[in-house]
Structure 1
Amino acid sequence: MPNPQEGARRVQRAKAAGRGAHVPREIPVGFYAALTIVAVLGIAAIGYSRYEVNHPVSATSSQSPPRVGQTWYTALGIEVCGHFEPVLAKGSGAASGMTALGNGVVKVAPKTPAETGAAATLVHFLDAAGVRVSTSSVVLPGHASIDVASVCGQRPVEVRTATWASLLATRPTIHAGTTGVRMLSGEVVAVAVVTKGATIAQPPTAANLANV
């Protein structure tokens, strides 16, 4: 049988040995490094948030092309049932950042941030140039109002806009009306009053785009 006294002596020796041993403590470097990184990121986030508050970016930011100081060109023609009307006179739309060059090409050069990016639209230019297009008439500055019925007959018509990404593009994108169409660099645009399903061709003056 085990000797109880011997067992007690062993327990006492073990306790004494434990009190005399020195176990070095490890410094939790990873833990403190993580705390430092979190603190730095938090300070950076607060600083960036304050910058955003003090420097808000508007919806028509000059960071979105076309920007103020940037210039590009778009070909534009207006068709009424297969007949392209005269090109807009040079200087048409000059009050805006988009100006007709008198050869079927429009210079797009925003003057203010309000004309940059998505705000550089076909409607914006037509309004500035005094152009009015509807299913009953077409008004071009310097010309008599065009009666659509006299050109298209009594057939029902609609206003559509065809856009080609470039002079070499063969298949246009068709838009209902003129709203939502942007004036993009190197693009060809045809505003047309035509019968439903009629094919819309590129304006004959679109080739002038290659000269600018």
Structure 2
Amino acid sequence: MSLVAVVALGAVLIFVSRNDRAVAEAPILGDHWHAAVGIYMCGDFVPNPNDAKQDVSGIHSHGDGLMHIHPFGTRYTGEGANLAAFADTVGMEIEDDRLKLASGEELSNGDDCGGRPGQVQVKVWESNADQQGRLLEGGFADYAPQDGSMFTIAFVPEGTDIPRPPSAGNAPTDV
């Protein structure tokens, strides 16, 4: 193989890998995304989360039922624009088996929820057109919503139908 062919092949591979990586890293610095969010506790939505401290990540809420995603640093781009960053800003903690709300209320899998054992669950809808949604199997803190998606953090008995957040479809379309 000639040197020119090797160099050309190398250049093509670098271009392709950079394109793939750029797509995988969204949201990037300068993006301004929104995802609808609700917290559903034993059959009722609780008040929308609001920032509990200074936002250092660019992943926050204004109490409007939306997770605002406009990363302030590369640590919070791509998969770093996740539920853990959001929870930290709004004063919550979320693990696969435990949920602590900004109010201080803490619930763990097996705690009472309307006379039945409840469990932490997260249901995700990829867009307003997604009528079915899907339950995350775990890794709740690592969930990184996409622009226009929606999710409900729930503490409910297994098998409970988890509704979309009340703010579904309220994300601005002009940013």
Q: TM-score range by the shorter chain?
A: 0.7 to 0.9
Equivalent of 1:89 in 37, 50, 58:
50
Question: What is the rounded CA distance, in whole Å, between the counterparts of 1:173 and 1:85 in structure 2?
Answer: 21
Q: Is the CA contact (8 Å cut-off) linking 1:166 and 1:188 kept in structure 2?
A: yes
Bigger relative CO (Cα 8 Å, ≥ 6 apart)? 2
What amino acid is aligned across from residue 155 of structure 2 in structure 1? V
Could you list the runs of 5+ residues in structure 1 that have no partner in the other structure?
1-34
Question: What is the rounded CA distance, in whole Å, between the counterparts of 1:106 and 1:79 in structure 2?
Answer: 16
Partner of 1:145: 105
Determine if the alignment matches structure 1 residue 40 to structure 2 residue 10.
no
Question: What is the rounded CA distance, in whole Å, between the counterparts of 1:95 and 1:106 in structure 2?
Answer: 14
Equivalent of 1:197 in 126, 136, 159:
159
SS in structure 2 at match of 1:170: coil
SS in structure 2 at match of 1:106: strand
Q: Is the CA contact (8 Å cut-off) linking 1:93 and 1:126 kept in structure 2?
A: no
Q: Is the CA contact (8 Å cut-off) linking 2:35 and 2:149 kept in structure 1?
A: yes
**Percent identity (aligned):** 25
What amino acid is aligned across from residue 152 of structure 2 in structure 1? A
Equivalent of 1:71 in 32, 36, 45:
32
Q: Deviation at 1:155?
A: 1.4
Question: What is the rounded CA distance, in whole Å, between the counterparts of 1:63 and 1:204 in structure 2?
Answer: 29
Question: What is the rounded CA distance, in whole Å, between the counterparts of 2:68 and 2:52 in structure 1?
Answer: 10
- Please list the CA deviations of residues 125-174 of structure 1 after superposition, one character each: whole Å capped at 9, or x if unmatched: 2123321246676321xx35266899723411111111111223210111
Question: What is the rounded CA distance, in whole Å, between the counterparts of 2:58 and 2:120 in structure 1?
Answer: 25
Question: What is the rounded CA distance, in whole Å, between the counterparts of 2:120 and 2:31 in structure 1?
Answer: 31
Could you list the runs of 5+ residues in structure 2 that have no partner in the other structure?
none
SS in structure 1 at match of 2:162: coil
- Structure 1 segment 90-109 matched on structure 2, within 5 A: 90=51, 94-109=55-70
Question: What is the rounded CA distance, in whole Å, between the counterparts of 1:188 and 1:161 in structure 2?
Answer: 10
Partner of 1:113: 74
Question: What is the rounded CA distance, in whole Å, between the counterparts of 2:89 and 2:32 in structure 1?
Answer: 18
What amino acid is aligned across from residue 145 of structure 2 in structure 1? M
**Structure (1 or 2) with the greater helix fraction:** 1
- Please list the CA deviations of residues 47-100 of structure 1 after superposition, one character each: whole Å capped at 9, or x if unmatched: x6xxx8xxxx8xx86972101111111111111111111111257672212120
Aligned length: 167
